[in-house]
Structure 1
């Protein structure tokens, strides 16, 4: 079996970029699988926790479903089903958006806030053991800076003539250069 270490180093910038992406992707998949396997809550799933994590970072712990789709790696229908499950458990509530009656605002309930805090503390411990147990302080700082730089860097679009930019949250906006 050939491993990455057995391969000759990339000789072009393009090959290096592809190899770096492959390495980043494989690390992310491996770590996510491990963190999911040891997720500390029997009350909510990893994806439901992600909804709560994102709500906890919003003003008043509430956001439109449309805004949540910008932060989660799930489709809007999947997010709607997650929100419905969380609402049935009393962890979030679904409200009509006062600014647009067609929109739904998802708000974390006090029960949801308590569950989020309890789960977040234990989940952060697992992250610290896995990531912090592998990298030292300077490497963690460098990793954070590099990932931020990648997230905020130029994005690509489906067509070559669109100018694509990412905002501070990584959402992609497209504007034609005329």
Structure 2
């Protein structure tokens, strides 16, 4: 069961109490339904970089990631060359994983291929989720679900990498596709919009 903490008259999910940056992210961003395709893609890329690390690490590096990846504009990232990969491997402000960097570049190609085929990224993802946030009322937070497995499989089929079902589920939580705020959290359910 997810526990919560209360600070400044707000009850928050337990993970958001360990650092002020996490509390701010929780209150202002995490779990809000994101419908913008490019923003959804950026968050998926950041969740891919998080694999094996804490979200706080990625959150602290997010602005450096945005600079390094030119605002996470897929049309710019697809033009990255081997020299850009080497540049990114030397950037201490980001996670310097060659596999993750190359995956982000490849994922920009996959994202743009979906667009070129007339498949809007947001409509694709939200369509798989039924169009509305899935509200978890149990307080038990899984690491993956049948839906995250299905979305992962569909993304991999389209050429995406670093989109396993656990990464996809974390992304679903972050983008409000699923509402995993603790039942007594001030952001749970209808309070998150």
Q: TM-score range by the shorter chain?
A: under 0.3
TM-score w.r.t. the length of structure 2 is 0.25
TM-score w.r.t. the length of structure 1 is 0.27
**Which protein is bigger by CA-based radius of gyration?**
1
Q: Which has the higher strand share?
A: 1
